[in-house]
Structure 1
Protein backbone atom coordinates (compact mmCIF):
# COMPACT_ATOMS: atom_id res chain seq x y z
CA UNK A 1 0.00 0.00 0.00
CA UNK A 2 1.26 3.46 -0.87
CA UNK A 3 2.22 5.79 1.91
CA UNK A 4 0.06 8.92 1.94
CA UNK A 5 1.75 12.22 1.24
CA UNK A 6 1.80 14.86 3.95
CA UNK A 7 -0.41 17.11 1.83
CA UNK A 8 -2.97 14.31 1.39
CA UNK A 9 -3.12 13.86 5.15
CA UNK A 10 -3.51 17.63 5.58
CA UNK A 11 -6.35 17.71 3.03
CA UNK A 12 -8.04 14.83 4.86
CA UNK A 13 -7.75 16.73 8.13
CA UNK A 14 -9.23 19.81 6.44
CA UNK A 15 -12.13 17.63 5.23
CA UNK A 16 -12.69 16.35 8.77
CA UNK A 17 -12.66 19.86 10.26
CA UNK A 18 -15.00 21.20 7.56
CA UNK A 19 -17.36 18.23 7.95
CA UNK A 20 -17.58 18.65 11.73
CA UNK A 21 -17.98 22.42 11.34
CA UNK A 22 -20.77 21.91 8.79
CA UNK A 23 -22.64 19.69 11.26
CA UNK A 24 -22.03 21.89 14.33
CA UNK A 25 -21.89 25.36 12.81
CA UNK A 26 -19.63 26.54 15.60
CA UNK A 27 -16.38 25.85 17.40
CA UNK A 28 -14.19 26.16 14.32
CA UNK A 29 -11.05 27.11 16.24
CA UNK A 30 -11.47 24.20 18.65
CA UNK A 31 -11.99 21.80 15.73
CA UNK A 32 -8.91 23.09 13.94
CA UNK A 33 -6.78 22.94 17.07
CA UNK A 34 -8.03 19.45 17.91
CA UNK A 35 -7.52 17.88 14.49
CA UNK A 36 -4.19 19.58 13.85
CA UNK A 37 -2.79 19.18 17.38
CA UNK A 38 -0.44 16.33 16.49
CA UNK A 39 1.20 18.28 13.65
CA UNK A 40 4.59 19.74 14.48
CA UNK A 41 5.72 21.36 11.22
CA UNK A 42 4.48 24.95 11.07
CA UNK A 43 4.19 25.01 7.26
CA UNK A 44 1.88 21.96 7.43
CA UNK A 45 -0.29 23.62 10.07
CA UNK A 46 -0.37 26.83 8.03
CA UNK A 47 -1.40 24.99 4.84
CA UNK A 48 -4.22 23.07 6.55
CA UNK A 49 -5.48 26.17 8.36
CA UNK A 50 -5.36 28.28 5.18
CA UNK A 51 -7.23 25.61 3.22
CA UNK A 52 -9.93 25.37 5.89
CA UNK A 53 -10.31 29.13 6.31
CA UNK A 54 -10.35 29.94 2.58
CA UNK A 55 -12.90 27.19 1.97
CA UNK A 56 -15.20 28.63 4.65
CA UNK A 57 -14.70 32.29 3.70
CA UNK A 58 -15.41 31.59 0.01
CA UNK A 59 -18.14 29.01 0.54
CA UNK A 60 -20.87 30.95 -1.31
CA UNK A 61 -18.69 31.44 -4.39
CA UNK A 62 -17.55 27.81 -4.30
CA UNK A 63 -21.15 26.59 -4.01
CA UNK A 64 -22.18 28.80 -6.94
CA UNK A 65 -19.54 27.15 -9.11
CA UNK A 66 -20.84 23.72 -8.07
CA UNK A 67 -24.47 24.76 -8.77
CA UNK A 68 -23.50 25.89 -12.28
CA UNK A 69 -22.28 22.36 -13.03
CA UNK A 70 -25.17 20.46 -11.43
CA UNK A 71 -27.97 22.63 -12.79
CA UNK A 72 -30.61 19.91 -12.54
CA UNK A 73 -29.70 18.92 -9.00
CA UNK A 74 -30.39 20.53 -5.65
CA UNK A 75 -27.24 21.06 -3.59
CA UNK A 76 -28.88 19.09 -0.78
CA UNK A 77 -28.92 16.00 -3.01
CA UNK A 78 -25.12 16.01 -3.22
CA UNK A 79 -23.63 14.05 -0.34
CA UNK A 80 -22.13 16.36 2.30
CA UNK A 81 -18.68 14.78 1.99
CA UNK A 82 -18.78 15.29 -1.78
CA UNK A 83 -19.87 18.93 -1.43
CA UNK A 84 -17.03 19.61 0.98
CA UNK A 85 -14.49 17.85 -1.26
CA UNK A 86 -15.70 19.88 -4.23
CA UNK A 87 -15.37 23.08 -2.19
CA UNK A 88 -11.82 22.13 -1.17
CA UNK A 89 -10.88 21.29 -4.77
CA UNK A 90 -12.34 24.48 -6.22
CA UNK A 91 -10.75 26.50 -3.43
CA UNK A 92 -7.32 25.08 -4.32
CA UNK A 93 -7.90 25.76 -8.02
CA UNK A 94 -8.84 29.37 -7.31
CA UNK A 95 -6.75 30.43 -4.31
CA UNK A 96 -3.60 28.29 -4.23
CA UNK A 97 -1.51 29.41 -7.21
CA UNK A 98 1.41 27.15 -6.27
CA UNK A 99 -0.57 23.88 -6.53
CA UNK A 100 -0.91 22.39 -10.03
CA UNK A 101 -4.56 21.79 -11.03
CA UNK A 102 -3.88 18.12 -11.85
CA UNK A 103 -2.48 17.59 -8.36
CA UNK A 104 -5.54 19.17 -6.76
CA UNK A 105 -7.98 17.10 -8.79
CA UNK A 106 -6.07 13.84 -8.28
CA UNK A 107 -5.79 14.42 -4.53
CA UNK A 108 -9.50 15.19 -4.14
CA UNK A 109 -10.43 12.10 -6.18
CA UNK A 110 -8.19 9.88 -4.04
CA UNK A 111 -9.66 11.30 -0.83
CA UNK A 112 -13.17 10.71 -2.20
CA UNK A 113 -12.26 7.04 -2.76
CA UNK A 114 -11.40 6.73 0.94
CA UNK A 115 -14.14 8.88 2.48
CA UNK A 116 -17.16 8.74 0.18
CA UNK A 117 -19.22 6.40 -1.99
CA UNK A 118 -17.88 4.22 -4.81
CA UNK A 119 -19.18 6.58 -7.53
CA UNK A 120 -18.23 9.85 -5.84
CA UNK A 121 -14.76 10.00 -7.34
CA UNK A 122 -16.20 10.00 -10.90
CA UNK A 123 -18.82 12.61 -10.00
CA UNK A 124 -16.23 14.86 -8.34
CA UNK A 125 -13.76 14.39 -11.20
CA UNK A 126 -16.37 15.46 -13.75
CA UNK A 127 -17.31 18.61 -11.87
CA UNK A 128 -13.73 19.66 -11.07
CA UNK A 129 -12.64 19.05 -14.68
CA UNK A 130 -15.53 21.18 -15.97
CA UNK A 131 -14.71 23.99 -13.52
CA UNK A 132 -11.02 23.80 -14.46
CA UNK A 133 -11.95 24.12 -18.15
CA UNK A 134 -14.11 27.15 -17.38
CA UNK A 135 -11.29 28.79 -15.41
CA UNK A 136 -8.83 28.20 -18.27
CA UNK A 137 -11.25 29.55 -20.89
CA UNK A 138 -12.09 32.64 -18.86
CA UNK A 139 -8.44 33.33 -18.00
CA UNK A 140 -9.22 33.12 -14.28
CA UNK A 141 -6.87 30.22 -13.57
CA UNK A 142 -4.20 31.85 -11.44
CA UNK A 143 -1.34 29.36 -11.59
CA UNK A 144 2.31 30.25 -11.94
CA UNK A 145 5.68 28.61 -11.82
CA UNK A 146 7.30 25.64 -13.48
CA UNK A 147 4.99 22.66 -13.88
CA UNK A 148 1.90 24.56 -12.75
CA UNK A 149 0.49 25.48 -16.13
CA UNK A 150 -0.88 22.73 -18.35
CA UNK A 151 1.83 21.92 -20.91
CA UNK A 152 -0.64 21.55 -23.77
CA UNK A 153 -1.69 25.16 -23.30
CA UNK A 154 1.92 26.29 -23.23
CA UNK A 155 2.84 24.35 -26.39
CA UNK A 156 -0.18 25.54 -28.37
CA UNK A 157 0.34 29.16 -27.33
CA UNK A 158 4.04 28.94 -28.29
CA UNK A 159 3.01 27.57 -31.71
CA UNK A 160 0.60 30.45 -32.13
CA UNK A 161 3.29 32.93 -31.11
CA UNK A 162 5.74 31.53 -33.68
CA UNK A 163 3.03 31.65 -36.37
CA UNK A 164 2.29 35.26 -35.41
CA UNK A 165 6.01 36.07 -35.54
CA UNK A 166 6.28 34.58 -39.05
CA UNK A 167 3.30 36.59 -40.25
CA UNK A 168 4.76 39.88 -39.00
Structure 2
Protein backbone atom coordinates (compact mmCIF):
# COMPACT_ATOMS: atom_id res chain seq x y z
CA UNK A 1 0.00 0.00 0.00
CA UNK A 2 1.43 3.39 -0.96
CA UNK A 3 2.39 5.97 1.64
CA UNK A 4 -0.08 8.47 0.12
CA UNK A 5 -2.97 6.04 0.38
CA UNK A 6 -2.03 5.12 3.96
CA UNK A 7 -1.93 8.80 4.93
CA UNK A 8 -5.41 9.30 3.44
CA UNK A 9 -6.71 6.51 5.65
CA UNK A 10 -5.01 8.10 8.67
CA UNK A 11 -6.57 11.48 7.83
CA UNK A 12 -9.99 9.82 7.56
CA UNK A 13 -9.45 8.28 10.99
CA UNK A 14 -8.45 11.71 12.36
CA UNK A 15 -11.68 13.12 10.93
CA UNK A 16 -13.65 10.36 12.68
CA UNK A 17 -11.98 11.09 16.02
CA UNK A 18 -12.48 14.86 15.67
CA UNK A 19 -16.13 14.36 14.71
CA UNK A 20 -16.79 12.07 17.70
CA UNK A 21 -14.95 14.47 20.00
CA UNK A 22 -16.86 17.47 18.67
CA UNK A 23 -20.17 15.68 19.19
CA UNK A 24 -19.40 14.33 22.69
CA UNK A 25 -16.58 16.53 24.03
CA UNK A 26 -15.23 13.69 26.15
CA UNK A 27 -13.36 10.40 26.00
CA UNK A 28 -10.85 11.63 23.44
CA UNK A 29 -8.27 8.99 24.33
CA UNK A 30 -10.78 6.13 24.14
CA UNK A 31 -11.91 7.40 20.72
CA UNK A 32 -8.30 7.48 19.53
CA UNK A 33 -7.59 4.01 20.95
CA UNK A 34 -10.65 2.54 19.26
CA UNK A 35 -10.35 4.23 15.86
CA UNK A 36 -6.57 3.75 15.59
CA UNK A 37 -6.57 0.18 16.94
CA UNK A 38 -5.86 -1.30 13.49
CA UNK A 39 -2.98 1.07 12.63
CA UNK A 40 0.27 -0.87 12.88
CA UNK A 41 2.77 1.67 11.58
CA UNK A 42 4.07 3.82 14.47
CA UNK A 43 4.88 6.76 12.19
CA UNK A 44 1.37 6.80 10.76
CA UNK A 45 -0.12 6.58 14.25
CA UNK A 46 2.13 9.40 15.50
CA UNK A 47 1.15 11.57 12.54
CA UNK A 48 -2.56 10.97 13.15
CA UNK A 49 -2.44 11.55 16.89
CA UNK A 50 -0.33 14.67 16.46
CA UNK A 51 -2.81 16.01 13.90
CA UNK A 52 -5.69 15.34 16.31
CA UNK A 53 -4.12 17.09 19.31
CA UNK A 54 -2.76 20.07 17.35
CA UNK A 55 -6.10 20.57 15.59
CA UNK A 56 -7.99 20.52 18.89
CA UNK A 57 -5.46 22.73 20.67
CA UNK A 58 -5.68 25.45 18.04
CA UNK A 59 -9.35 25.10 17.16
CA UNK A 60 -10.20 28.72 18.05
CA UNK A 61 -7.26 30.14 16.09
CA UNK A 62 -8.14 28.05 13.05
CA UNK A 63 -11.81 29.07 13.31
CA UNK A 64 -10.78 32.74 13.28
CA UNK A 65 -8.73 32.09 10.13
CA UNK A 66 -11.73 30.39 8.52
CA UNK A 67 -14.09 33.24 9.56
CA UNK A 68 -11.78 35.77 7.93
CA UNK A 69 -12.20 33.98 4.59
CA UNK A 70 -15.96 33.35 4.73
CA UNK A 71 -17.22 36.79 5.61
CA UNK A 72 -20.67 36.09 4.17
CA UNK A 73 -21.11 32.93 6.24
CA UNK A 74 -21.64 32.35 9.92
CA UNK A 75 -19.52 29.55 11.35
CA UNK A 76 -22.57 27.63 12.54
CA UNK A 77 -23.85 27.49 8.94
CA UNK A 78 -20.74 25.66 7.74
CA UNK A 79 -21.18 21.89 7.75
CA UNK A 80 -19.37 20.32 10.72
CA UNK A 81 -17.36 17.96 8.50
CA UNK A 82 -16.25 20.91 6.37
CA UNK A 83 -15.13 22.81 9.48
CA UNK A 84 -13.21 19.78 10.71
CA UNK A 85 -11.52 19.28 7.33
CA UNK A 86 -10.64 22.98 7.16
CA UNK A 87 -9.14 22.86 10.66
CA UNK A 88 -7.15 19.74 9.74
CA UNK A 89 -5.92 21.35 6.52
CA UNK A 90 -4.86 24.55 8.29
CA UNK A 91 -3.13 22.49 10.97
CA UNK A 92 -1.13 20.61 8.34
CA UNK A 93 -0.21 23.86 6.58
CA UNK A 94 1.09 25.40 9.79
CA UNK A 95 2.47 22.54 11.87
CA UNK A 96 3.59 19.80 9.47
CA UNK A 97 6.62 21.33 7.79
CA UNK A 98 7.44 18.27 5.68
CA UNK A 99 4.02 18.05 3.97
CA UNK A 100 3.70 20.18 0.82
CA UNK A 101 0.81 22.67 1.07
CA UNK A 102 -0.88 21.38 -2.08
CA UNK A 103 -0.89 17.85 -0.62
CA UNK A 104 -2.65 19.06 2.54
CA UNK A 105 -5.24 20.97 0.51
CA UNK A 106 -5.79 18.13 -1.95
CA UNK A 107 -6.26 15.59 0.84
CA UNK A 108 -8.94 17.77 2.51
CA UNK A 109 -10.70 18.15 -0.85
CA UNK A 110 -10.62 14.43 -1.66
CA UNK A 111 -11.85 13.40 1.79
CA UNK A 112 -14.69 15.92 1.52
CA UNK A 113 -15.85 14.27 -1.70
CA UNK A 114 -16.45 11.07 0.25
CA UNK A 115 -17.73 12.37 3.56
CA UNK A 116 -19.35 15.76 3.02
CA UNK A 117 -21.74 17.64 0.73
CA UNK A 118 -21.61 18.09 -3.04
CA UNK A 119 -20.27 21.64 -2.85
CA UNK A 120 -17.80 20.97 -0.05
CA UNK A 121 -14.76 20.27 -2.23
CA UNK A 122 -14.98 23.62 -3.99
CA UNK A 123 -15.65 25.47 -0.72
CA UNK A 124 -12.75 23.80 1.10
CA UNK A 125 -10.40 24.42 -1.83
CA UNK A 126 -11.26 28.13 -1.91
CA UNK A 127 -10.88 28.66 1.83
CA UNK A 128 -7.63 26.69 2.18
CA UNK A 129 -6.10 28.37 -0.91
CA UNK A 130 -6.91 31.80 0.56
CA UNK A 131 -5.43 30.83 3.93
CA UNK A 132 -2.33 29.40 2.24
CA UNK A 133 -1.88 32.68 0.38
CA UNK A 134 -2.12 34.64 3.65
CA UNK A 135 0.37 32.33 5.36
CA UNK A 136 2.84 32.75 2.47
CA UNK A 137 2.43 36.53 2.34
CA UNK A 138 2.84 36.94 6.10
CA UNK A 139 5.88 34.65 6.27
CA UNK A 140 4.08 32.22 8.58
CA UNK A 141 4.41 29.29 6.19
CA UNK A 142 7.44 27.27 7.27
CA UNK A 143 8.15 24.24 5.11
CA UNK A 144 11.24 22.05 5.02
CA UNK A 145 12.27 18.86 3.26
CA UNK A 146 9.41 17.45 1.18
CA UNK A 147 7.31 20.42 2.28
CA UNK A 148 9.36 22.62 -0.03
CA UNK A 149 8.38 20.52 -3.04
CA UNK A 150 5.72 22.98 -4.17
CA UNK A 151 8.13 25.93 -3.96
CA UNK A 152 10.92 24.15 -5.85
CA UNK A 153 8.53 23.18 -8.66
CA UNK A 154 7.40 26.78 -8.99
CA UNK A 155 11.02 28.02 -9.12
CA UNK A 156 11.95 25.47 -11.81
CA UNK A 157 8.89 26.44 -13.87
CA UNK A 158 9.77 30.12 -13.55
CA UNK A 159 13.36 29.48 -14.72
CA UNK A 160 12.19 27.48 -17.74
CA UNK A 161 9.79 30.21 -18.84
CA UNK A 162 12.49 32.93 -18.71
Q: TM-score, normalised by structure 2?
A: 0.90
Q: Give the match's secondary structure for 1:148.
A: helix
CA pair 153-141 structure 1, distance change in 2 beyond 3 A? farther
From the CA coordinates, give the structure whose radius of gyration is larger: 1
Matched, 1:75 2:43: no
Q: Does the 8 Å CA contact 1:82/1:116 hold for their aligned counterparts? A: yes
Which residue of 1 is the match for residue 88 of structure 2? 88
CA pair 97-62 structure 1, distance change in 2 beyond 3 A? same
**Alignment size in residue pairs:** 156
Which residue of 2 is the match for residue 19 of structure 1? 19
Deviations 1:59-89 (A, max 9, x none): 1111110010011211000000000000000
Deviations 1:129-158 (A, max 9, x none): 000011111111111125434236545998
Q: Give the match's secondary structure for 2:72.
A: coil
Which residue of 1 is the match for residue 49 of structure 2? 49
Q: Give the match's secondary structure for 2:140.
A: coil
Q: Does the 8 Å CA contact 1:18/1:84 hold for their aligned counterparts? A: yes
> Unaligned regions of 5+ residues in structure 2, if any?
none
Q: Does the 8 Å CA contact 1:101/1:132 hold for their aligned counterparts? A: yes
Q: Does the 8 Å CA contact 2:102/2:150 hold for their aligned counterparts? A: no
- C-alpha distance in 1 between matches for 2:70 and 2:24: 26
> Unaligned regions of 5+ residues in structure 1, if any?
159-168
